Amino acid sequence: MTSRSRHIVTIVGSLLLVAFVTWLLFIAFDESAVDNKMSTLNPLSWQAQRYHDVYELVWWLSGAVFVAIMAATLILSILYRERPGNEPRRDIHGNTRLEILWTIIPIIIVLIMVVPTFSAVIAVEGDADEDALEVTATGHQWWFEFTYHDEDGNEMFRTANEMHVPVGRAVNVSLQSNDVIHAFWVPALFGKKDMMPGHNNRLWFTPNAGTEGMHYGQCVEYCGDSHANMRFRIFVDSEEDYDQWVANQMSDASWSNDELVQAGRELFVAKGCNSCHQVAYSKDDAPDWLIPPTVAAIGPNLSHIASRTTIASALMDRDEESMREWLANPPAVKPGSRMPNLELTEDEITKLIAMLDSLE
Ligand SMILES: [Cu+2]
């Protein structure tokens, strides 16, 4: 290669590198990344905000270090490049002042990062507010179960994959697992934490005022075939909407006397759905096909399935088409699903959907 073509290769290479870095910066700061509901860039609780502050500090510090080193490298290689009249300098062996300086500077930078990091961790990992809502989140392969407790710690009700919380109030979440290690994360609301079998982890968060709406969550610890399909949602409700939601979840499962719904109910028993799914009914005239909750806990509680917006751990919207697809062959939709293909006919699926749709 001639020295001229080597020059051209160097220049083109540098330009490509600069373009690549610019593109990385662009996607990092792109508005859609900031607005994305799975992004930590728009924290909606003070806990998420504390972690985000640390992230931002480290980002700017490391950015400054990066720019300083790159600039020094560039300037020195231009100043001292090989050219007539620029003779090699004498070697230097050790310079105490310089060595002290470049030991102290990194120590200061590390201290600037360590102090806010520890203070954020201590604040966020501290005890939850006294009046915090108590919820147990249990990871299952591949869905989430939420158990709500009253002030005395007694179980009030169970639901799945969609958690509702009141705005402005602390939520204390006890994290558990029914099988393997999962992890719980809603980037906008709190940092990720593992759900371990046989070990209780805990996290808490307080949704800011004005954050009413839906926030996406995801399992973030590889847990088998459908790990990527293990999602969930948190709905931050106004106090009033939340109370209404709780009252509905606490109520008995309801169903109409509609013919299709009744046929669906019969199928729910005939096909053994009730051996895995709870449909809660507390009255004395409870249908005798109901199995106690402790037995029918292999799949999500379906008592109020029609009050949810999604099915199969937020993988699909809860609409007629998705429901058909799911009931026809769950493992085809969600690889490895613990709900087997029950070989249902189109007609049976229609009846079951009518029954499920009535469970508001
Ligand atoms: Cu998982």
- In angstroms, what is the span from residue 225 Cα to ligand 1's centroid? 9
Domain 133-249 fold is Immunoglobulin-like (2.60.40)
Report, as an integer, the average pLDDT of 14-43.
Answer: 81
User: In what side-by-side order are the strands of the sheet with 182-186?
Assistant: 162-166, 231-237, 213-219, 182-186, 190-195
Q: What is the pLDDT of residues 101-125, one digit of tens each?
A: 999 999 999 999 999 999 999 999 9
- In angstroms, what is the span from residue 116 Cα to ligand 1's centroid? 31
- In angstroms, what is the span from residue 355 Cα to ligand 1's centroid? 29
- In angstroms, what is the span from residue 228 Cα to ligand 1's centroid? 8
- In angstroms, what is the span from residue 224 Cα to ligand 1's centroid? 7
Scan for tokens 């662009």, then name that residue: 26
- In angstroms, what is the span from residue 196 Cα to ligand 1's centroid? 10
Other beta carbons within 10 angstroms of residue 22's beta carbon come to: 9
Report, as an integer, the average pLDDT of 227-247.
Answer: 96
Q: What is the pLDDT of residues 196-225, one digit of tens each?
A: 999 999 999 999 999 999 999 999 999 999
Using alpha carbons, select from 255, 229, 250 the residue that is nearest to residue 352. 255
Tell me what percent of the residues of the chain surpass a pLDDT of 70: 93
The span from the CA of 172 to the CA of 175, in Å, is: 10
CATH 3.40.630.30 fits 259-357, yes or no: no
> Cα separations (Å) of 210 from 166, 214, 236, 254?
11, 12, 9, 33
Instruction: Please list, in sequence order, all residues whose beta carbon lies within 8 angstroms of the beta carbon of residue 119, skipping any fewer than 6 positions away.
Output: none
- In angstroms, what is the span from residue 180 Cα to ligand 1's centroid? 8
- In angstroms, what is the span from residue 161 Cα to ligand 1's centroid? 12
The span from the CA of 206 to the CA of 236, in Å, is: 10
Report, as an integer, the average pLDDT of 8-28.
Answer: 88
Question: What would the two tokens of residue 41 be?
Answer: 């860039």
- CATH 2.60.40.420 segments of the chain: 133-249, 259-357
Question: What would the two tokens of residue 171 be?
Answer: 């939520």
What's the whole-model pTM score?
A: 0.87
Report, as an integer, the average pLDDT of 144-164.
Answer: 93
The span from the CA of 159 to the CA of 302, in Å, is: 8
Burial class (CB in 10 A: 0-12, 13-18, 19+), 251: middle
Q: Which helix (H) or strand (E) holds 311?
A: strand 310-311
- In angstroms, what is the span from residue 172 Cα to ligand 1's centroid? 20
Confidence label for 292 from pLDDT (cuts 50, 70 and 90): low
Query: Which residues are found with C-beta within 5 Å of the ion, ligand 1?
Result: 182, 219, 223, 230
CB 267 within 8 A of CB 351: yes
- In angstroms, what is the span from residue 197 Cα to ligand 1's centroid? 12
- In angstroms, what is the span from residue 206 Cα to ligand 1's centroid? 24
- In angstroms, what is the span from residue 230 Cα to ligand 1's centroid? 6
185: three-class secondary structure by DSSP = strand
- In angstroms, what is the span from residue 313 Cα to ligand 1's centroid? 11
Tell me what percent of the residues of the chain surpass a pLDDT of 90: 69
Tell me which of 81-85, 206-210, 302-306 is least confident: 81-85
